[in-house]
Structures are given as structure tokens and as C-alpha cells.
Amino acid sequence: MIQSLTPKFIRPNFVALLLGLAAATAGSASVADAGGLGLFNRSACDAGCVMGSCDAASCDSACGDPLCCDAVDCSGLGCDGCVSCVSSCCDAGLLGGLIKPSDRCFDDFVSPMINFVHFEDPRTLTELRPIFVNHWVPERIGNNIPAGGSIQLLAMQFRIALTERLSLIGVKDGYIWDNTNGALDGLLDDGWASVTAGLKYNILRDTQSGTIASIGGTYDLPGSRDALQDIADGEFHLFATGGQRLMCGKAHLMSAFGWRVPSDGFLQSESIHWSNHFDLKLTETTYFVTEIAWWHWIDSAKGGAALGVAGQDLFNLSTSDVTGNDLVTQNVGLKFKPNAKTEWGIAYEFPLTEFKDVIEGRLQTELIVRY
């Protein structure tokens, strides 16, 4: 399947992506457009709820930064968090400008939590994101395999804005603790998670309508054998992700579609996923969050065992009989965002489909420290 898709889809778009990324690094939006990415940027003012005139022209001229806009929005602040155009509004970045600050014009958004390895925030961000997951496993999984118990993961995601559009992202790492039962306990043990990193590129950014979209890709480097993180030589993940401001920043939608492609289809399965996020602002600092994720397995590992499960987002097990399986999960939680640089969240996730794969329930908590 991979070979049939590669000549028709991957190669021309991959060339366009490389041209666009090269143009972005060079700082030329027009060349990026020529690369076929269809970039769209509208950053003169904030959302449509602007209550005053936009002073972007004078501000941008003074700051020399097209993303520094001080229009008055519903919060009384400009999209860069400043009330006037002063030098602090236009941060040159860290390490001599090699690391850029996060995009301030979408500070009213909060990051998604479900499917946290693959559901990427569409914004250009610089942040550290420690995550703790307590994952409960069904008493029986797949082809009636005795299991039960739980798995814990402590991870540290990172995102680094390299330009106003291009980001380096690290979405999976950390350590896994095995507290499972039954036959699964004999297969899984404590160990280091695989390391997943890649690039994300912002292709659409409209601060007036609150619309943003990005594309990207990551590669999963094998981790510990004991924690079942070293099956085959890793996998690629290609994704598109977008967000939309609603109700003048009181609510938001995000949606992402991704394709997990193993480097060795003989040993690992191939799947697609669609993840969706909705949040509603309860107070100035508190958000209600609910999310739904769908996984569909399109190809099994031809040389795998008949397990009947693939491992959801934390694993990609060598299983030969998951083609056509569908898993849908939902979470419900809260996000607390006291300021633009700090975000804390907690959510509980549960399966909606009869097929549970390896999830009975999941409690996730995280802290985001953003630059």
C-alpha cells in the first residue's frame, strides 16, 4: 500500500514541502507560495470582535515584526499581549534569535490532550510540556488474552519555533512503568519510551477570523525492548491540523488527521487517525474540554502474531489481525490557564466503541510552560 501511494502522492508534495520549508527558513513568503503550499497570512488585526482601530501599521513599522499587532481585542489587550507598541512586544528570541517566541495572536486557545502523541496543536509554539498518564488496560484484550492492570508514562514534550511558521517538535519520549496483569505482564516491562520528533509548518494563519492550520511529519526512533518500544525500525507520522476561534474567543475547535506509516510493514501495522477538540471558557482562566479520537487500522503486520490489538497511540505492536478495526475514545477534562505562558490540564479518557484495543480508561495530567 505504501509503495502504491508513494509515487502519486508523497513525492510531489514532499518536494513542495521542502521548497516551502527552505523558503520559510530564508524568510521569503512569496517563494514559499511558489513551492505550492498556498500560504495565507492575515495578521493586521485580531479577531472580528475588535472594539477599536488597529494600530498595526505603525506598530509593525516600529517593531519590524509582521506578527506584532496591538489591535484591541475582547480582552482589552493586543494579540501579542501588550496594550501598546513597546519594545517588549517584539521579542527577538533566544540564542541570538535561533529560537523564536510562541505566536501570541492565538493565546486564547488551549492545547489538545487526547491522542497526545499524534494530535498536534496547529499553532507555532515554543514550550516544554511534561505529561503524566495513568492508563488502565481491559481485563481481556484482543483475542481473549488475559490482561488488566495499568501502565504509567512520564514524558516531556517540547516544541521550538525556528521561524514564524516552522517548528521543531518532540512529541513522545519518557519512561514507562508496567503494572499490568495476566499474559500482558509477561510481554511488557518497565523501560524507556521511543523518541518521536519532526517538523511542523504553519500554512494558514488568519488572526481576524481566528483560523489556523499546519502540516508536518515526525519519525519514531525505537526505544526500550522491555517496554515494547523497539519493534522494527520505527514509523513515520504525517499529519494536518487546524483550529478555529468561536464566540469571540469563548470557545474553540481543533481537528487533526494523521497517517502512521511503519518503516517495516512486515513487523508493524499501518493506521490513520482523526482527533477533534472542543473547549468552552468557563471563567477568564478555566476551560471545559472534551475531545474525541478515532483510530482505523488499514493494514496489519504481515509477519506479526494474531493478537487482535495494535496498541493505540503508545505502542505499535506486531499484530497480524487488526486490519479494519476501529477504536473511538472520548475524554472530558479541564484546562487552567492563568496567563499566556502557563497551562495546566487534567482529563479522563474512555472508549466509546465495543472494540477497546488496549484502553479501559486513561487519566492524563500535564503542565505547559510556554515562551
Domain positions in the chain: 1-38, 42-90, 93-370
Top-ranked range on mean pLDDT: pick from 34-38, 56-60, 273-277: 273-277
CATH code of 93-370, in short, is 2.40.160.40
**pLDDT score at 112:** 98
Q: What is the mean pLDDT of the chain?
A: 80
d(CA 38, CA 302): 39
pLDDT for 280-332, tens place per residue? 999 999 999 999 999 999 999 888 888 888 888 888 887 889 999 999 999 99
Residues 6+ apart with CB under 8 A from 336: 285, 286, 287, 343, 344, 345
Segment 269-272 long-range contacts (CB within 8 Å, at least 24 positions apart): 269/297, 269/299, 269/300, 269/301, 269/304, 269/310, 269/316, 269/317, 269/319, 269/322, 269/323, 270/1, 270/2, 270/297, 270/298, 270/299, 271/295, 271/296, 271/297, 271/298, 271/310, 272/296, 272/298
- If DSSP codes are grouped into helix, strand and coil, which group holds residue 59? helix
39 confidence band (pLDDT: 50, 70, 90): low
Strand partners, 367: 344
pLDDT in tens, 149-191: 999 999 999 999 999 999 999 999 899 999 988 887 778 888 8
- 131, 153 Cβ separation under 8 angstroms: yes
329-126-348 Cα angle (round to 5): 20
SS3 of 223-251: the string is CCCCCCCCCCCCEEEEEEEEEEEEHHHCE
pLDDT at 40: 52
207: helix, strand or coil? coil
Q: What value does the mean pLDDT take over residues 36-62?
A: 40
Weakest-pLDDT range from 64-73, 144-153, 156-165, 273-282 = 64-73
- 22 backbone dihedrals φ, ψ, rounded to 5°: -65, -40
CA neighbor of 293 nearest in space, from 309, 274, 266, 306: 274
pTM above 0.85, yes or no: no
- Residues 231-261 pLDDT 10s: 778 899 999 999 999 998 999 999 999 999 9
**C-beta separation of 205 from 42 below 8 A:** yes
Q: Summarize the chain as % helix, strand, coil (round to 5).
A: 15, 40, 40
